[in-house]
Structure 1
Amino acid sequence: MWRTLASETLIKDRWIDVRADRCITPSGAEISPYYVLTYPDWVHVVALTPDRGLVLVRQYRHAAGQWLLGLPAGVVDGGDDDVERSARRELAEESGFMSDRWRKVSALYPNPATHTNRVHTFVALDAVATQAPQLDEGEEGLEVIVRPIDEVLAGLEDGIFQQATHVSSLLLAMRSIDALR
């Protein structure tokens, strides 16, 4: 395992903490600076309607400079000691959908080489629209789209989703659904 000899915070706000570490490998090589990005954990929700529609959101992603289609997702709030509560909140806020049938599928690191956070994937079955979305600042223009799950799965190779973590969350969730039915 690497040892950290020193660490300096370069940027820190509510979204990210960037630090530069001075590290020594087991063989004695020094790696410096080694940048580490500390984010809050994220949640992804694979919400299926009773008729096998997949609840999606289309929203602007600034770093890509594009409107992208993906899963309802968001940050685990610091006050949420129950990650499922964050998933339920994100689904309701972004899409207006709710479900009584939830299951955690996985918790994976999106990039363990440089990121400290994990993405928690949940399945929500029999999701129904119960309210209007309640969007956060910066989510203007977000559009809720329900597409047949088979259409979305068929479109993965053609880039229907451009976020790799959304693809992995969807595929893992679909694999787990047999255990839920």
Structure 2
Amino acid sequence: MESFTEKTVKQEYIYKGKIIDLSIHDVVLPDGNPGKREIVSHPGAVAVLAVTEDEKIVLVNQYRKPLEKVIAEIPAGKLEKGEEPLECAKRELEEETGFLADKWTAISSFYTSPGFADEIIYLFLAEDLKPGQVHTDEDEFVECVKVTLGEALELMKNNIIHDAKTIIALQYLQLRNQMR
């Protein structure tokens, strides 16, 4: 695999933002030729598959400007500098849904778009839910809903659930239910 490595010889930041940074890398390709790579840097995020005692999945409806539409998603959010993924997951679940969880399970982590971004999402299962307090960010507007797995799959079929993290979480839940 070492033969596929690209060496960065120059890096120029084009944009440094609140959520992402964009840089251009001049690289030496595995065959020795020069190349350029546009890289989006992101601090990472968490996503929470929260399941109630009666097997309902907690989703949030949120307008996503890049898509110009509202989609239903599992609760998620960006890691703060130095924050552990589990602590972030606990914070985001309560902030967006008003739920706390007594039982947490790390499911997996995955890169969202490894062709141009380094964003990694840590996916957790939250169970044994109890009421907490909603306190979304000042620029965050969400509506919390609870749906069955069947209803969630129907939302996915109709492109209302239309993001990778939620689809991965639903597939995990389907597999878990099949193995019981």
What TM-score comes out, normalization by structure 1 length? 0.89
- 1:153 corresponds to: 153
- 1:166 corresponds to: 166
Question: What displacement does 1:163 show?
Answer: 1.1
- 2:10 corresponds to: 6
Distance 1:174 1:40 in 2: 29
- 2:67 corresponds to: 64
Aligned amino acid, residue 64 of structure 1? L
Please list every run of 5 or more consecutive structure 1 residues that lacks an aligned counterpart in the other structure.
Answer: none
- 2:21 corresponds to: 17
- 1:48 corresponds to: 51
Question: What displacement does 1:48 show?
Answer: 0.3
1:1-150 alignment runs, 5 A limit: 1-32=5-36, 34-80=37-83, 82-131=84-133, 133-140=134-141, 142-150=142-150
- Cα RMSD between the aligned structures? 1.8
Change (3 A) 1:155 1:69: closer
Secondary structure, in 3 states, of the residue corresponding to 1:111? Answer: coil
Question: What displacement does 1:154 show?
Answer: 4.1
Change (3 A) 1:29 1:165: farther
Change (3 A) 1:126 1:14: same
Change (3 A) 1:15 1:176: same
Whether the aligned pair in 2 keeps the contact of 1:18 and 1:38 (CA below 8 Å) is yes
Distance 2:178 2:132 in 1: 26
Aligned amino acid, residue 52 of structure 2? T
Whether the aligned pair in 2 keeps the contact of 1:152 and 1:160 (CA below 8 Å) is no
Change (3 A) 1:122 1:177: farther
Question: What displacement does 1:127 show?
Answer: 1.8
Distance 1:45 1:177 in 2: 17
What TM-score comes out, normalization by structure 2 length? 0.90
Identity %: 28
